Amino acid sequence: MSVSWLRFGWLFNRRAARALLWTVLLLALAVAANVAGIALIGSVEGWRQWMVNSSGYFRVWRLCLYGVTIYGWLWMRRRLLVRESDAQARHRLIRTEIAGVAAIAVLEISLLFQVA
């Protein structure tokens, strides 16, 4: 008799636990920032209005973040292509790049429609 949960042992390794911990930590920080903002401004409506008024600054922040991410991606891409120069690695990179650009485009379009 085999135990079926042993097949999913890769889910419960140290790397997955660390990723889960970082995810929970970032989510907690986001909630804490919103709660602190609401407390400082005084109301949820005031906080929402401040966020709408500051959306341009947040857009500039996201563009800087995207720029740093692109720089890091290009650095990693060059190293990966030196290590694995076969066509399959190139196809995987292209698929990943398309998925990343599509995800960022969907995020930015949804934010554009949310503010408007």
Assess contact for 41 and 47: CB atoms under 8 A.
yes
pLDDT at 1: 47
Which residue in the block uniquely carries the two structure tokens 């740093």?
Answer: 68
Distance CA 84, CA 82 (A): 6
Which residue in the block uniquely carries the two structure tokens 């429609």?
Answer: 113
Q: Which residues contact 97 (CB under 8 A, 6 or more apart)?
A: 73
- Whether the model clears a pTM of 0.75, i.e. scores above it, the answer is no
How does pLDDT run across 30-39, given as a tens digit for each residue?
999 999 999 9
Assess contact for 52 and 41: CB atoms under 8 A.
no
Domains of the chain, residue spans: 1-42, 54-116
Helix axes 44-53, 55-83, angle to 10 degrees: 60
- Tokens of residue 60, six digits: 């500039």
How does pLDDT run across 74-94, given as a tens digit for each residue?
999 999 889 988 888 889 889
